[in-house]
Amino acid sequence: MSEFQYTPEKIKFLEKDTVDIRQILETVWGLRFWILLSLIVCFGIAYAYCLYKTPVYETACSIMLVNEEGSKGTVTSEMALMSEFTGMSLQQKMSNELYILKTTSLMQYVVEDLDLNIQYFHKDRIKNKEYYKNSPLLFQWENPVPLAASEIQHMEIHLTLQSENESFIINEFLIKGEEVFLGIRNYAFGEIISTSAGLFSINRVPNMTTNHDTFLIIVTSPRAKARQISDRLTVSQISQGRSGLSNSSDIILLSLQEEIPQRSSDILNALIINYINDTRNFKAASVNKSIAFINGRLTEIEKDLGAIDLPKPRIVEIPTIYGGEFGEDLGFVAEHNGLSEDQVIKIHSSIDYRIYMLGFTPGFSYLGGMSEKIAAPRLKTPRTKIPGGSVGIAGKQTGIYPMESPGGWQLIGRTPVKLYDPSSETPIILQAGDYIRFIPIDKDEYDYIHDLAEKKQYKIKIFF
């Protein structure tokens, strides 16, 4: 192996590639003033950008939509039921809610509530600063007939305050971007200004002072402004509950980017309020339409049925023994109403009661027309066994237990008549539409009728 040897040519080549640090430092030092000036200019540009660039803030809030079962688990949420009736999944219904929150129509309510379609700025050399709820000026429409939201045109009003802020000059007036000449003159605050876009006035806000004299007022249609805000609004579902007719909840996240944080908070709050109101109004309108439809159908059915001859009602006499072992709650009913037991018996047996319906047990009659003077509450703890034929009071109703059963009515008497006999050709004697007349009897009469009823020899007295 030959040894490496330095030749004159190689030494010259190495000297040419050697870095001269001293020379580089001398060059940088010679340019130090230019480098320092460049840094100052860069920092100045960055500072000016941060100072005059309008920051954008993001505000977020959430809505929880709860689908919960009603009392005793018998009533489910409207969203779940509508899903069952329409065949539309809960996820599809949730997509509808997300779409509604993003609609321009809903946002337009917010814009009109907060007057967001009118913006106020004080003009500066570099940028305009916007006021929100602290503007010293107030724009007002003065049209005899208020302009519809769709008729409002985009306007820009450039004005300068004059003579110690007691009047102003409109320097430039634009409608849809085109300048409209109004003439150079002083306008007093509150003076009506007539333009092709409508009549308006500009007023001073009391107790609002300003050190600025040049202002810009921008007026847009509420719908156009609503569309701009909706484009900056983000609506998303961040939590999905269980589907089906069961407890479930969904969380919707709303976020909005705005240059003024307070305004974005106000917009989101107003949006949620209008969303809730819109939902309630929709439900109310749906209920009213359903009621109107049902009433219409009932009217048509009534016309189709024509006149119906109802049978003449019967009056059925029910012999009843009151109080004692047969009506152990008679004393409570009397005391509850401040009456004697005889007064309760007299009032109860002095009325013919109409049978509204039969139910609860076979032949149990719900009677109407009882005097409120003997009304009494139900038992706090129902009895597990009540003898057949017992006469009771619950609230403003009275009735007869046709067979042994549990119940919570206040018992005031008992009839020896069998009102339900499954072995008879007519198992249930009473019919809806009949009238019942209670006939007070004593113990001997009760025993006599009871014996006949057991032998199926007792005939109930019925009148027409």
Q: What is the pLDDT of residues 154-194, one digit of tens each?
A: 999 999 988 776 889 999 999 998 999 887 788 999 999 99
CB-CB contact of 391 with 327 (8 Å): yes
- Predicted pLDDT at 58: 87
Q: How far is CA 38 from CA 31, 34, 49, 51, in A?
A: 11, 6, 17, 20
CB-CB contact of 453 with 417 (8 Å): yes
How far is the C-alpha of 141 from the C-alpha of 360, rounded, in Å? 67
Whether 328 and 455 map to the same domain: the answer is yes
CATH number of the domain encompassing residue 335: 2.40.100.10
Query: Residues 6 or more apart from 268 whose CB is under 8 A from it?
Result: 59, 61, 254, 256
Domain range spanning residue 268?
57-112+228-281
Whether 168 and 62 map to the same domain: the answer is no
Query: Residues 6 or more apart from 422 whose CB is under 8 A from it?
Result: 362
Whether 366 and 404 map to the same domain: the answer is yes
Nearest to 430 by CA among 360, 355, 359, 368: 355
Across the chain, mean pLDDT equals 83
**Where among 281, 306, 324 does a domain terminate?**
281
CB-CB contact of 415 with 429 (8 Å): no
Whether 275 and 322 map to the same domain: the answer is no
In a domain, 277, yes or no: yes
Q: What is the value of pTM for the model shown?
A: 0.52
**Band of the pLDDT at 70, cuts 50, 70, 90?**
very low
Residue 158 burial class via C-beta count within 10 angstroms: exposed 0-12, middle 13-18, buried 19 and up? middle
Q: What is the pLDDT of residues 112-146, one digit of tens each?
A: 999 999 999 988 777 788 899 889 999 999 887 77
CATH number of the domain encompassing residue 102: 3.30.70
Q: Which letter, b or e, does each residue of 83-111 get, where b requires 16 or more Cβ atoms within 10 Å of its Cβ?
A: beeeeeebeebbeebeeebbebebbbbbb
Whether 212 and 132 map to the same domain: the answer is yes
Checking if the pLDDT of 306 tops 90, the result is no
- Predicted pLDDT at 57: 84
- Predicted pLDDT at 83: 44
Angle at 155 between CA 154 and CA 160, to 5 degrees: 160
How far is the C-alpha of 183 from the C-alpha of 419, rounded, in Å? 98
In a domain, 142, yes or no: yes
Nearest to 462 by CA among 320, 312, 349, 356: 312
**Where among 220, 242, 262 does a domain terminate?**
220
How far is the C-alpha of 438 from the C-alpha of 316, rounded, in Å? 9
The total of structural domains in the chain comes to 3
Whether 244 and 189 map to the same domain: the answer is no
Tell me how long the chain is. 464
CB-CB contact of 258 with 233 (8 Å): no
Q: What is the pLDDT of residues 307-316, one digit of tens each?
A: 767 778 899 9
In a domain, 15, yes or no: no
Whether 268 and 232 map to the same domain: the answer is yes
How far is the C-alpha of 106 from the C-alpha of 110, rounded, in Å? 7
Q: Which stretches of 148-306 are DSSP H helices?
A: 222-232, 261-305
Which residue type occupies 8? P
How far is the C-alpha of 162 from the C-alpha of 168, rounded, in Å? 5
Whether 274 and 235 map to the same domain: the answer is yes
How far is the C-alpha of 267 from the C-alpha of 261, rounded, in Å? 10
**Band of the pLDDT at 32, cuts 50, 70, 90?**
confident
In a domain, 3, yes or no: no
Q: Is 290 left (phi over 0), alpha (psi -120 to 50) or beta?
A: alpha
- Using DSSP's 3-state secondary structure scheme, residue 129 falls into strand
How far is the C-alpha of 83 from the C-alpha of 81, rounded, in Å? 5
* Backbone φ and ψ of 18, nearest 5°: -75, 135
User: Alpha-carbon torsion 80, 82, 85, 91, what sign?
Assistant: negative
CB-CB contact of 168 with 178 (8 Å): no
- Predicted pLDDT at 143: 83
Whether 124 and 160 map to the same domain: the answer is yes
In a domain, 136, yes or no: yes
In a domain, 52, yes or no: no
Nearest to 375 by CA among 407, 412, 400: 412
Q: What is the pLDDT of residues 341-391, one digit of tens each?
A: 999 999 999 999 999 888 878 888 888 889 999 999 999 999 999 999 999
Whether 139 and 243 map to the same domain: the answer is no
Whether 237 and 216 map to the same domain: the answer is no
In a domain, 4, yes or no: no
Whether 336 and 454 map to the same domain: the answer is yes
In a domain, 392, yes or no: yes
**Where among 201, 220, 239 does a domain terminate?**
220
